[in-house]
Structure 1
Amino acid sequence: MFHRSASYLIRGLLPAGLLTLAACAPAPIYKPSASTVSATPTMVAQSPDRYASADVIWGGRIVDVHNFADHSEIEILGYPLDSSQRPKADNGGGWGRFIAVMPGYVESFDYPSGGLVTLAGRVTGNRPGSVGEAGYVFPTVSVAQSHVWTAAEMQSGKSNVSFGIGVGVVH
């Protein structure tokens, strides 16, 4: 009899606990539009006509900022986004580089090299360039909105609780 009631208790508490943990994650910062595509920068570079004028929500690590007379360009190494649209830069290699085009002057202090950023914008084409000595095709995105993530925001909503079976050592 105890076994059955414990089973019901566990079955009831486990889903509630998981929902509570999921509720702690911050909501996405940008709402996808009807024309938002889930293509990666590499996919756009390989099939530019297919994604012409598509809306994207991309993120990644800032590589460099270049300011011009009437706009700025930020080179970004793209990464997949989590459910809160934060770049998952610690999950192996990126999924391609792209150029974020922003109107006016962008202060490189506000978009520091190595910083993580998420943006919403529209694909405007591709541009040949290079990464080191290698030729590269960069998709370009006209940025409508952007957000540079702080360290605290990157940790926000991430649980320190893990579930598993076995023995572990925490340092």
Structure 2
Amino acid sequence: MNWFRRCAAIALLASLSACATRPAVVAGGPVTPALPYEVAAEPERYGNAEVIWGGMILAIDNRESTTEVTILGYPLDAAQRPVPAAGTRGRFIIVLPGYVERHDYPDGLFVTLTGRLAGTRAGRVGEHAYVFPLVEAAHVHRWPPGFQFDRPQWHFGVGVGVRL
């Protein structure tokens, strides 16, 4: 009977750990749920708000004392991963201190970041005038290629033990 209790306890712990959610990549406190296009339309409304946004890198521009990374925004899932299948949410620019290598932030890479809104900048997307929200990044998480295909996997196995 003691063996049965041990097995039941192990099975219970294993099933509870399987139900645990994945931790968020970027720990965040209270943030503004606004989307990039909403901030671009009313920048004075959002001021210096904290945001958690994510998306795909479109371009990088090293300036004299900062680096600006243009992002095509996507909504985030519960694990704070960008969801490309959900459609875009506008563009924004991440402002990073100092010089950043293009190799570390290549075009097409997905990121999730926290930061503080730092105003907007008028620019162009092709021939179209566009207003980009600026985000001074506090933390940027770079996702590995193919991350959107990584989903929780279930494995179940039965083993046989031999005691000599």
Normalised by the length of structure 1, the TM-score is 0.75
Out of 103, 110, 125, the residue aligned to residue 116 of structure 1 is: 110
Counterpart CA distance in 1 for 2:19 and 2:146 is 18
Identity fraction in percent: 45
Counterpart CA distance in 2 for 1:155 and 1:107 is 27
Could you tell me which amino acid in structure 2 is paired with residue 96 of structure 1? Answer: G
In structure 1, the gaps of 5 or more residues are: 1-15, 162-171
Counterpart residue number, 1:149: 143
Shift of 1:69: 1.2
Counterpart CA distance in 2 for 1:154 and 1:39 is 23
- Change in Cα spacing, 1:47 to 1:67, as seen in structure 2 (3 Å) is same
Q: Is the 8 A contact 2:113 2:140 kept in 1?
A: yes
Q: Is the 8 A contact 1:124 1:140 kept in 2?
A: yes
SS at 1:109 equivalent: helix
Counterpart CA distance in 2 for 1:134 and 1:22 is 47
Counterpart residue number, 2:22: 26
- Change in Cα spacing, 1:124 to 1:22, as seen in structure 2 (3 Å) is farther
Out of 123, 134, 139, the residue aligned to residue 133 of structure 2 is: 139
Q: Does residue 69 of structure 2 align to residue 84 of structure 1?
A: no
- Change in Cα spacing, 1:22 to 1:61, as seen in structure 2 (3 Å) is farther
Counterpart residue number, 2:34: 39
- When Rg is computed on C-alpha atoms for both structures, the one with the higher figure is 2
Shift of 1:95: 0.3
SS at 1:44 equivalent: helix
SS at 1:42 equivalent: helix
Q: How does 1:60-71 map to 2 (within 5 A)?
A: 60-71=55-66
Counterpart residue number, 1:11: none
SS at 2:105 equivalent: coil
Counterpart CA distance in 2 for 1:26 and 1:60 is 20
Could you tell me which amino acid in structure 2 is paired with residue 32 of structure 1? Answer: G
Counterpart CA distance in 1 for 2:17 and 2:58 is 36
Shift of 1:159: 3.6
Query: Paired residues, what number?
Result: 141
In structure 2, the gaps of 5 or more residues are: 1-13, 155-164
- Change in Cα spacing, 1:98 to 1:20, as seen in structure 2 (3 Å) is same
Q: Is the 8 A contact 2:26 2:141 kept in 1?
A: no
